[in-house]
Structure 1
């Protein structure tokens, strides 16, 4: 459910929880700022899939935004583990090499309605995905 922000623009539900998993800590921090700009304040970050999974277990996010290629545990492996607890969690996969992963992400897209986000991406592309998710929840 969207709420009105003080500046008159429609904001996202501030109760929504988002987990960002990316080994590029600077990028994860930038994405976190972008997400907070649209009115989502409950955001956590992790630097790899292992840490992301541990945070997931405690934080119980509504959306996971994850890089695919990371050390320790990649994004796909982490999401497979997450789906054992929450099969239908909304997932947005990010990669600068998305063309290499499109085939292995087909099941994620068709069965789980996962989204794919090519790096670099714009603020409007990211916010569009969050607004789509918000509409699905209505």
Structure 2
């Protein structure tokens, strides 16, 4: 059975930063939160685009048993033949689920967007959406 449920998210970072800004620290915090909830990340399969492909991020995922399925960022590679990272193209095509979910979350909070100015309110909307989508999933089961 296919199950595309949100079980965690990295909150936005204020300011003008690239995708990899403090990513390892933020991932470590997320993993710690998941472990507090007795959610094991060992064996987790993580789809990411090339913007998230870095040696330090791959190493952080590897240390926690997370299989990073990221498109190789050719700017970080001198010789493509030397790369021995596993990449599953079929599963990578499913990353649209993440983008679709982000779009749905934005649509849910758009009616109060002018009041959504703080990190706390942004995180709250993520939690509200995750709870609502979980309830909708339970209705289907």
Report if TM-score (shorter chain) is over 0.5.
Answer: no
Higher helix share: 2
Question: TM-score, normalized by length of structure 1?
Answer: 0.37
Question: Which of the pair is proportionally richer in strand?
Answer: 1
